[in-house]
Amino acid sequence: MRRMGNPNRRKEHWGSRLGVVLAVAGGAVGLGNFLRFPGQAANYGGGAFMIPYLFSFLIIALPLATSEWALGRRGGRMGFHSPLGIYYAVGGKSRFWGILGGLSALTPLVISMYYIFVEAWCLVYALQYLGGLLEPLGLGFSLLDGVEPGLKLGAETGGAEYQGLFERFIGANGDGSLFKGGLSPLLLMTLACAFVNFYLIYRGVSKGIERFSKLVAPLVLICSLLVVGRVLTLGNPTGIEGQSLLDGLGFMWNPSRDVVLESGEVVHRTIWSSLANPEVWLAATSQIFFTVSICLGATCTYASYVRPDEDIALSSVTSTAANEFCEVALGGLMAIPPMIMFLGAQAADKFGSSFSLGFIALPNVFERMPFGEFFGFAFFTLLFCAAITSSISIVQPTLALFGDSLNLSRTACVGLTCLVVLSGTAFVCWFTKDLAALDAFDFWLANFAPFLGGIFQTILIAFVWNISSLRKELDRGALIRLPRFFGFVVKWISLPYLILIFAFWCYKNLAERLKGVAGSQVAQLSLLYMAGLAVGLLVLSVIVVRKWKREESAK
């Protein structure tokens, strides 16, 4: 079969095997690894949570991530790099799969819109700590002066200040508050982050993304090890009983514990009662599903740039393992234990969400920690680096979509992608009251849509493309042989399990969320905005698939 896709585009490939592994792992390692995972593990049974977590890793993360790599490279060999083109090509030139692929590009597009904003939070916090570190040299500065005059993170401000500081900083007290009195430092940093993202994407996969990933990966590792090393050498910093290092680690890893219910009653939850609770399985599977960033379009887009005879079997397992290493070995040690050591076990209820843990609880901890400014700087630099490699990976599918479907130059594709993404970022930056727009985008496109996309993608791989083609693709240039039962697992275990978990997830979350949408204008506006984008993608997909069909029949 002839190559398809955009004939005006120069063929791009990754420069090295290590480069693509670091880029995919960098795309997967994000705030979720360092903030969401520890919170979920601690809230859902600690050590008991790890059993369904590892089970889901083996039957969901590894099989689906590896399959997505194969899907992506197959599409890349046929000249496509976007989910639209890849689904169309691998789905036997079917209109249905092409259009579905086009619609699936909505997920990375919308996530990238708010991820750039969150990335800017990390950058501002990192610079804030850097300003404090430079103060003795007379070079100190504060980006939060406009938010809270004279306040510096790491200064003796008292813990209660951090919540208010964070809310004012992100504009959670009113829509449009970030735009009052000119551009706030946060908005300037958001623009700076967007510029870096689009510059790297403009440079291309090898010269931009790959080089940057090779530079940033060691930095993430160094910063993580610095923070973990500090946490593990703290002993009992407050001298309060129940707040030592071992208590912190125990809170994170003990499989049985006493839990205080909302009614105030204390119950002893054993490992067996946690495992019998379906919510623990749902939380663990959702966490593993989201952390590996499967079915977001990023992995298959990146894999489409792998050379035809290069290994993907070992590369996919390595990038997944690297992500797990960052999540469990680093994320599992650096966030919850120090929070328990400095703020006590009751803080876990108060700072349960990722943002509260990262931007309220941990700055509180760094303030009380010896050399806290330095470790605060290391921690937020780590978060920023993890976030920027993730945001680059989720912008890439949109760029590839325009590249595959419109006959545009690279510069025009980057410009168009930038325009679309920044329009959504502006929407999120305006509707900051209680982060309602960000929350709506996150719920529908980072939680709901990937499950749905994952189910369709696995059906495409297992039943349309079929398992023997998948195996053939994985064996091409493979450095390791995957077990023979791999295909069976994808088709008959991963897919039904994913459907089951999705059904349970909908049962647990949808009704409450829909009630919330009815009562919030911003949530409705956000849904409308996403629906508008979906219609745009649908129209584009229909036109492009029709054009490809015509070209095929003309040959």
Partner 1 sequence: MTLGGWISMTVTLGFVLGLFSWCCYKMATAPDAPDSPDDSDDESRDS
Binding site for partner 1 (CB under 8 A): 1-3, 11, 17-18, 21, 46-48, 50, 54, 76-78, 246-247, 249-250, 252-256, 271, 307-311, 314-315, 317-318, 321-322, 324-325, 327-329, 332, 469, 472, 477, 479-480
Nearer to partner 1, 46 or 171 (CB): 46
Cβ of 398: how many Cβ atoms within 10 Å? 27
Nearer to partner 1, 367 or 473 (CB): 473
Cβ of 205: how many Cβ atoms within 10 Å? 27
Task: Report, in Å, the least distance between residue 444 CB and partner 1.
Answer: 31
Task: Report, in Å, the least distance between residue 11 CB and partner 1.
Answer: 5
Task: Report, in Å, the least distance between residue 29 CB and partner 1.
Answer: 12
Which residue bears the tokens 């991963």?
Answer: 494
Task: Report, in Å, the least distance between residue 446 CB and partner 1.
Answer: 24
Q: Are 306 and 73 in contact (CB under 8 A)?
A: yes
- The separation between the first and the last C-alpha atoms of the chain, rounded to the nearest angstrom, is 11
Nearest to 33 by CA among 443, 252, 322, 299: 322
Task: Report, in Å, the least distance between residue 34 CB and partner 1.
Answer: 15
Task: Report, in Å, the least distance between residue 255 CB and partner 1.
Answer: 4
Token digits of residue 270 = 């054993």
Distance CA 341, CA 362 (A): 11
Q: How far is CA 63 from CA 67, 283, 304, 478, 492, in A?
A: 6, 19, 18, 16, 11
Nearer to partner 1, 325 or 504 (CB): 325
Task: Report, in Å, the least distance between residue 113 CB and partner 1.
Answer: 32
Distance CA 67, CA 316 (A): 9
Task: Report, in Å, the least distance between residue 391 CB and partner 1.
Answer: 24
Q: Return phi, psi of residue 69, to 5°.
A: -60, -45
Show the 3-state SS of 193-221.
Answer: HHHHHHHHHHHCHHHHHHHHHHHHHHHHH
Nearest to 446 by CA among 115, 187, 194: 115
Nearest to 497 by CA among 468, 455, 465, 464: 455
Distance CA 398, CA 415 (A): 11
Distance CA 498, CA 485 (A): 18
Q: Are 49 and 251 in contact (CB under 8 A)?
A: no
C-alpha radius of gyration, the chain, whole number: 23
Nearer to partner 1, 472 or 547 (CB): 472
Contacts 24+ apart (CB under 8 A), 350-354: 352/39, 352/43, 353/39, 354/31, 354/32, 354/35, 354/36, 354/39
Nearer to partner 1, 321 or 493 (CB): 321
Task: Report, in Å, the least distance between residue 273 CB and partner 1.
Answer: 13
Nearer to partner 1, 129 or 305 (CB): 305
Nearer to partner 1, 314 or 422 (CB): 314
Nearer to partner 1, 52 or 131 (CB): 52
Which residue bears the tokens 């977001």?
Answer: 296
DSSP H/E element including 478: none
Task: Report, in Å, the least distance between residue 270 CB and partner 1.
Answer: 9
Nearer to partner 1, 114 or 548 (CB): 548
Nearer to partner 1, 259 or 531 (CB): 259
Nearer to partner 1, 190 or 320 (CB): 320
Q: Are 326 and 29 in contact (CB under 8 A)?
A: yes
Task: Report, in Å, the least distance between residue 306 CB and partner 1.
Answer: 9
Task: Report, in Å, the least distance between residue 417 CB and partner 1.
Answer: 25
Task: Report, in Å, the least distance between residue 302 CB and partner 1.
Answer: 16
Angle between helices 185-203 and 410-430 (to 10 degrees): 160
Q: Are 172 and 432 in contact (CB under 8 A)?
A: yes
Nearer to partner 1, 252 or 429 (CB): 252
Those residues whose C-beta lies under 8 Å from the C-beta of residue 514, and which sit 6 or more positions away, are: none
Nearer to partner 1, 308 or 370 (CB): 308
Collapsing DSSP to helix, strand or coil, 267 comes out as: strand
